[in-house]
Amino acid sequence: MRRTASPFSLVLLGLGTFLLVLAPLLAWYVHPRAAVNPIDIDTTAVYTGRGSVFDLERVETVPDRNITITQRVRGDVEDSERSGNAVWDVTTSVDTDASLPAADPHDALAFTPHRWVLDRRTTEPVHCCEETRRIEGEAYLKFPFDVRKRSYQWWDNTLGDTVVLRYRGTAKVQGHTGYRFTGSVPPTKNGTRLVPGSLVGRPDRPQVLAEEWYANHGVELVVDQRTGRVVYARTGPRQTLRAPGGTKDAAVLLDAERIAFTTETQREAVRQAKADSTRLRLVGETLPAGAGAAGALLAVIGGVLVARGRKTPEGTDTSGTPRPALTK
């Protein structure tokens, strides 16, 4: 009598071995390549709040006005494919009710276009592709994938420098839990502007190269841990003018304690974060774990069946049919 392996046991063993090889392949090869920043992004985030703004017609600061900040992010696919990075064009406009709806963004209280180039996997800034401002830090419009419970260097485009945002625990946004980070900006000179001297307390001079100062009452971001997507943002900008060498604000251009994502923007950000997080969890955890468990089970069953085999008498084929004797 001898033992032979059935085709069924060999299939089980082969399938189990395949799944065992597939599991680490999904986790270590497919998942890192799925966790990349998109090049065809096209999103709009809207912030609203109330505060003081400078009225050009009245030539004075008026309080308690509705303020809307609109941030549009569009990917430049051609430059992204050419460089291998994510090239995002960003426009930020600040409006009051007087300039909304904005037929022309240049009619806004402030309009700022710029380009952010980032590494698709690490989200680190890359300096190429006609980047219009040298952006630095670890995070800006989004955080890196797999956000950690630590402080991050966040780029403040108005300041033109990084700000330390500290981890403050978790927070829920539209039912979705994310990591919460906060920070602030003390009054800092960030440029100059040619204005009438009377605007900054120099009525004897027709024009003065006034100093622009910027501060932020408080920045708060809630970030999806797996994807690094910002699902909630709040900011408190204060922009003022000072006379050259002055120590006090002479004119307030913008001052708002709290401008935050609208409910609609929050919902869309959470929807996208959940979709991307589910996809990454699928290829990074669910499928590898399932493939590994199923592969181990099938491999064990197939191995046992192969080891046991089927007993067949000598002189018969694997189906048990006697083989014809050889004749001379």
**Residue 25 belongs to what H/E stretch?**
helix 7-25
Q: State which amino acid sits at residue 136.
A: E
* Mean pLDDT along residues 255-264: 96
Strands 230-235 and 237-242, bridge-based pairing: unpaired
Cα dihedral sign, 230-231-232-237: positive
Residue 85 sits at φ, ψ, to 5 deg, of -115, 175
DSSP string, 153-196: EEEETTTTEEEEEEEEEEEEETTEEEEEEEEEEEEEEEEEEEEE
Please state, for a pLDDT cut of 70, what percent of the chain lies above it.
73
CB atoms within 10 A of CB 190: 17
Q: Which residues pair with 114 in a beta bridge?
A: 90
Token output for 262: 């609208």
Q: State which amino acid sits at residue 229.
A: R
User: What's the pTM value of the predicted model, to 2 decimals?
Assistant: 0.80
What pLDDT is stored for residue 57 in this prediction? Answer: 80
Given a cut of 80, is residue 20 above it in pLDDT?
no
Strands 310-312 and 2-4, bridge-based pairing: antiparallel
Q: What does the mean pLDDT of the chain come to? A: 84
Helix (H, G, I), strand (E, B), or coil: what is residue 71?
A: strand
Domain ranges (residues) in the chain: 38-261
Give the whole-angstrom CA distance, residue 201 versus residue 214.
19
Cα dihedral sign, 212-215-221-225: positive
CB atoms within 10 A of CB 149: 11
* Mean pLDDT along residues 71-77: 96
* Mean pLDDT along residues 191-215: 93
Per-residue model confidence as pLDDT tens digits over 266-278: 999 999 999 988 8
